[in-house]
A and B are shown apart, each in its own frame.
Chain A
Amino acid sequence: MTNLFLGNLKYWLYGLTLLGGAGVAEWRGYSFTSINEHQVAPKSVRDNPGAYRSHYSTYTRYSGGK
């Protein structure tokens, strides 16, 4: 039994670190995809939603379709 742990020590360290990392990432809700995050003055947007300029500026109009 001890051989299972001692003989594969590096494997255990690697595996538990991997699981730990994945667990923490899941806990914090991390992701590879990042949503554009920024500061904005809240009051003006609630009063005038149309005036808000989304920083998601990479959007180009969809011009396809059937």
Chain B
Amino acid sequence: MKVRAIDCPNCGGSVELRGYSHSLSAVCIQCLTVIDTSHPQLTILKQFQDANRVRPLLPLGSRGRFGGKLFEIIGMQERQIMVDGTTYSWQEYLLFNPYAGFRYLSVYRGHWNFIEPAKGLPETTTRYLGKPALKYQGETYRHFQTAEAETSFAMGEFPWKLEVGQKVTVKDYIAPPKLLSEEITPDEVTYSVGTYQTGEEIAKAFALTTPLSLASGVFANQPAPAANLGSTWSTFVLLLVGLFVLSIFLKVISRNEVVFDQRLHYSSADKESAKVTDIFELKGRTSNVEIESETDLLNDWMYLDMSLINTETGQAWDFGREVSYYSGTDSDGRWTEGNPKVSVNIPSVPSGKYYLRIDPDMSDDAGLHSASYTIKVTRDVPKFWLLWLAIPLLMLPALWRTIKRGTFETQRWAESDYATSSSSSDDDDD
């Protein structure tokens, strides 16, 4: 079968019918007259204003492959809807293959959709996350928008009688990257399924030499960029489990060995307050040393100037701590201030033989100040604060992705029937 051409009844120009006898209307490219081609006696349906002429992004006659099949663009429509007083327009391309039939490509602000007729009906009507939804082929499609679409301009041919200004009510439901459209007229209901395509994919399918314009904003069924949030949070949980296992391991291998424990005394009457302890051994790998002191202070303070000294290498670690404890009663009852206990942790101390030099000090006023205090030295105490710090740090990427997804979804739904100032951004799981 060969393509035939007809003569435009208005201007006499040649109009090719690349859709053969399927084309029931065709637009004369010269004079923009819409011709009824369903009967040999060609009649005029309407005429487009030249002022409304739109340049198609994909030239009519171009061929591209989808799902392994070759399709030819034989028609283009510019359609528009009015929402809250604003007109939104998009282009729809009619794709034709003489065996496989008709498909559509729609484009809006750089977002493309490959549309084919749905074979089955949606299984059920339901609600999902606060919106009406349709279940189709096992997937739940949430209602996105209901609008009256009107054809404002067209080029090429169509397998129906194109009427300029013809309005059709369309309901769109989304399950990104898919879109389910429902078109209802008094005598007919049709469903079509769209699959989101990027400009790059379309340019590749049609082997375009110049790239198509970049997508702006977020489109109804545009898939969210990040990995599935469920798997992201699962990763966090697994890392948390790893953290837990690591903590257990560190606890198990820590020596937690008390190497020195003694009660000492200080009095301001002592001539020489500095003293040195017996030598004790710090065993094992380089790790921390914890020195704890418990005093019997009451309404007094003491300063402990200490040094941990290695007998063999001469390395010394100097540190000091104030200890104070006060208590009394007033109109509100008993009060306390300070803590009679103190603890110091010295990091990265190599193993070896050590002793402590302790020089306590108390108030140098006239009174007699004395205190007894214990010194306890523990080798390799498991301290987990680094691991506690790791928890929020581990959570950061998952939190970040969740926030980014939230803003993406807010942008998506901003174009829907549900856009309000207080839009609750429901997460799509994929």
A residues sitting closer than 8 Å to B (CB atoms) are 3-4, 7-8, 10-12, 14-16, 18-19, 22-23, 25-31, 33-42, 45-46, 49-50, 52, 54-56, 59, 61-62, 64-66
Contacts and interface: CB of A to CB of B under 8 A. Distances in A.
A35 B318 contact: yes
Interface residues of B, number: 67
B319 interface: yes
B315 A39 contact: yes
For the complex of A and B, 8 pairs with smallest distance between CB atoms: A29-B288, A31-B347, A7-B227, A29-B287, A15-B239, A56-B318, A49-B274, A8-B235
Contact of B319 (A4, A18, A31, A35): A35
B347 to A, nearest CB: 4
A37 B315 contact: yes
B383 A26 contact: yes
A46 B276 contact: yes
Contacts of B397: 10-11, 14-15
A4 B235 contact: yes
Contact of B337 (A11, A16, A41, A66): A66
B243 interface: yes
Nearest to B326: A66
A59 B286 contact: no
B71 interface: no
Given A35-B308, A37-B318, A52-B307, 14 more contacts: A3-B231, A7-B227, A15-B394, A16-B242, A26-B383, A28-B347, A31-B288, A35-B347, A36-B319, A39-B315, A54-B359, A62-B301, A65-B324, A65-B326
Contact of A40 (B228, B243, B316, B349): B316
Nearest to B380: A29
Contact of B390 (A11, A22, A36): A22
B227 A8 contact: yes
B314 A39 contact: yes
Contacts of B275: 49
A25 B246 CA distance: 12
B188 interface: no
Contacts of A22: 243, 246, 386-387, 389-390
Contacts of A56: 305, 307, 318-320
Contact of B357 (A25, A27, A52): A52
Given A19-B239, A19-B242, A54-B320, A62 B303 contact: yes
19 contacts: A3-B228, A4-B235, A7-B228, A8-B231, A28-B287, A29-B288, A29-B349, A29-B380, A33-B347, A35-B317, A35-B347, A36-B318, A40-B315, A41-B314, A42-B314, A49-B272, A49-B359, A50-B274, A65-B301
A26 B248 CA distance: 12
B310 interface: yes
